[in-house]
Homo-oligomer: A and B are copies of this chain.
């Protein structure tokens, strides 16, 4: 049901250079393998180059280097992958939410909801909260007292934002995300844990996306901060007083412990972890499943993955890890003995 565009119209919207028949009509985007004649495809990974010859696509998006790789109608772009993203957005606009407050929503006293915003049935907005222009709050969302949400936010069903948190423009938050829950702070006293009130907030910049069931705890005293353009996948845990630098992207299931600061433009792989009170520089890449236990001062790529193998091989090799120090001592002894022999000879 998407509208269709002539190739020339796409280029008029998004730039790029058209080669071949600019009049072909495009209504959707698809992979080279599955695209139909009314669909546009793209080549952004040379591994799929062979599919260019067999694709049924009506047009393709190519990088400058591949401009002549096919005779199909095509758009040439400096950054074919970003162009693909833009074409997909053009062809698949989000359904517009009806402005206004559904009668099945509950709005607290003093809440200020922009007239262009949309609040779904069963959403609950706390006292004094502010929801900006064109923002969409899905069913079952709970927005705490005095929360501030900027414009053009899209909260999918069942997002919770605790009281007092402050969020910029263009937030996308997926279902089950929890923003502003208490950080994990207790003091042990006479055999019992005493709770440390978590009085900081979560402060989120512009253009942030937060995945399904991701949790971001409020600060203990100061705030937890997510800077502009940060992208968080599903089921990430961000502890209290963490700061995540602008445009950093974090894959699913990552855990970040309290008071750690992550730089800008970092990329963190799935199920990785970062211990607390550390500093991670800008432009750091961390591999999946890697625990970072010390601060990282230099940009670069870091890893700590234990290599998998068949279980019987794994068992045979891994048993020695508990005796590695002993093995090193044995090698040292051998070296000394051999040195003695060599001296003698």
Contact = CB atoms under 8 A, between A and B. Distances in A.
Copies held by the complex = 3
Given A176-B213, A235-B215, A308 B320 contact: no
A106 interface: yes
Contacts of A314: 287, 302-305
A252 B229 CA distance: 25
A340 B162 CA distance: 73
Contacts of A271: 255, 271, 273, 291
A192 B207 contact: yes
Interface string A77-108: 00101101110110010010000001010100
B122 A85 contact: no
A318 B311 contact: no
Given A122-B124, A187-B85, A302-B310, A178 B181 contact: no
A334 interface: yes
A19 interface: no
Interface string A297-325: 00011111111111111111111111111
A331 interface: yes
Interface string A175-218: 11010011011111101111111010000000101011101010
A13 interface: no
A108 B220 CA distance: 38
A206 to B, nearest CB: 11
A187 B335 contact: no
B324 A320 contact: yes
Contacts of A305: 291, 293, 304, 306, 314, 318
Interface in A93-145: 95, 102, 104, 106, 120-122, 124, 138-140, 142, 145
Given A302-B309, A334-B338, A341-B345, A199 B142 contact: no
B324 A317 contact: yes
B140 A142 contact: yes
B92 A197 contact: yes
A85 B304 contact: no
Nearest to A120: B124
B237 A237 contact: no
B237 A234 contact: yes
A55 interface: no
Interface of A: 28-31, 34, 79, 81-82, 84-86, 88-89, 92, 95, 102, 104, 106, 120-122, 124, 138-140, 142, 145, 156-158, 160, 162-163, 172, 174-176, 178, 181-182, 184-189, 191-197, 199, 207, 209, 211-213, 215, 217, 221-222, 229, 231, 233-235, 237, 239, 247, 249, 251-253, 255, 257, 265, 270-271, 273, 275, 285-293, 300-325, 327-328, 330-331, 334-335, 337-338, 341-342, 344-345
